[in-house]
């Protein structure tokens, strides 16, 4: 295996990071939304846990923050975090910390936090089936990047994650299909933003039924557009519910 192969991602995990005051509500919502139970806590202060699918490998985890706002960060799974960290820094990332477990915390050029880890995973969970008869799954991480930083950030993520990237109907919007992994990654320019923000997409075969189901767990619809509904979930973060037929276009 070449150094480039050892730095190539084989899995992606999203961390849902909540300050203590929002942790219980936020994590409770995602347990209900996914149908995944929560693992035992781990970490020096019991700050980490995983959402555990019934079949397949986990790709959603939670963290209770000491301070700071609700946010997401990305774990990029690679064979060799050292090689991947060197490549990421060469592409423009800034090193934040190296853990005693051999993982690295970095920030993208526009300030999005990600970690390089080695944890094994390979099997993508199937979409969940719900009592109404429809199905859904958390399927995409979306990064909203300030316009002034967008070109550099897009180039950086192409190098960091590799794979084949698509340009969508808006030629500035980029999508890395999940392939054999659990999550698509989408980058889009945000005209008025001053920093990178991020949110998840739930893809479903029945948009109305899924919006109603999530509203039952406390999510609030904020805007409806063709093929998707934007919601605010407990803990204050945004969520897009996307119709399956629109998932490649929204």
pLDDT per residue over 177-201, tens digit each? 999 999 999 999 998 888 999 999 9
Which of these, 226, 237, 229, lies nearest to 210 by C-alpha position? 229
| Residue 250: pLDDT over 60 | no
Percent of the chain with pLDDT over 70: 97
| Residue 208: pLDDT over 50 | yes
Domain 3-117 CATH superfamily? 2,3-Dihydroxybiphenyl 1,2-Dioxygenase, domain 1 (3.10.180.10)
Q: What is the per-residue pLDDT across 68-95, written as a single tens digit (0 to 9) for each? A: 889 999 999 999 999 999 999 999 999 9
Architecture of domain 128-246: Roll (3.10)
Helices (H), 15-91: 20-34, 81-91
Domains 3-117 and 128-246 agree in fold: yes
So where are the chain's domains?
3-117, 128-246
User: Using DSSP, how many helices (H) and how many strands (E) does the chain show?
Assistant: 5, 16
Within 10 Å of residue 69's Cβ, how many Cβ atoms? 12
Residue with tokens 């991947």: 84
- What was the pLDDT predicted at 7? 85
């Amino acid at each position: 295996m070449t150094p480039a192969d050892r730095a190539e991602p084989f899995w992606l995990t999203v961390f849902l990071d909540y300050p203590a005051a929002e942790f219980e509500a936020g994590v409770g919502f995602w347990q209900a939304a996914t149908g995944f139970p929560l693992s035992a806590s781990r970490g020096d202060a019991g700050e980490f846990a995983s959402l555990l699918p019934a079949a397949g490998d986990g790709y959603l985890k939670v963290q209770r923050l000491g301070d700071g706002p609700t946010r997401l960060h990305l774990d990029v799974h690679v064979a060799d975090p050292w090689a991947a960290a060197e490549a990421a820094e060469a592409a423009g990332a800034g090193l934040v910390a190296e853990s005693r477990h051999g993982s690295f915390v970095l920030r993208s050029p526009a300030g999005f936090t990600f970690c390089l880890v080695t944890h094994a995973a390979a099997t993508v969970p199937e979409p969940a089936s719900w009592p109404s008869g429809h199905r859904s799954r958390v399927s995409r991480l979306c990064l909203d990047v300030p316009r002034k930083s967008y070109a550099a950030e897009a180039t950086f993520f192409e190098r960091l994650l590799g794979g084949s990237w698509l340009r969508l109907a808006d030629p500035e919007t980029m999508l890395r299909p999940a392939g054999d992994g659990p999550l698509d990654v989408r980058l889009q320019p945000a005209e008025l933003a001053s920093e990178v923000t991020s949110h998840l997409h739930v893809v479903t075969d029945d948009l109305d039924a899924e919006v109603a189901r999530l509203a039952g767990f406390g999510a609030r619809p904020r805007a409806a557009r063709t093929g998707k509904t934007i919601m605010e979930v407990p803990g204050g973060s945004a969520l897009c519910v996307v119709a399956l037929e629109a998932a490649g276009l929204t």
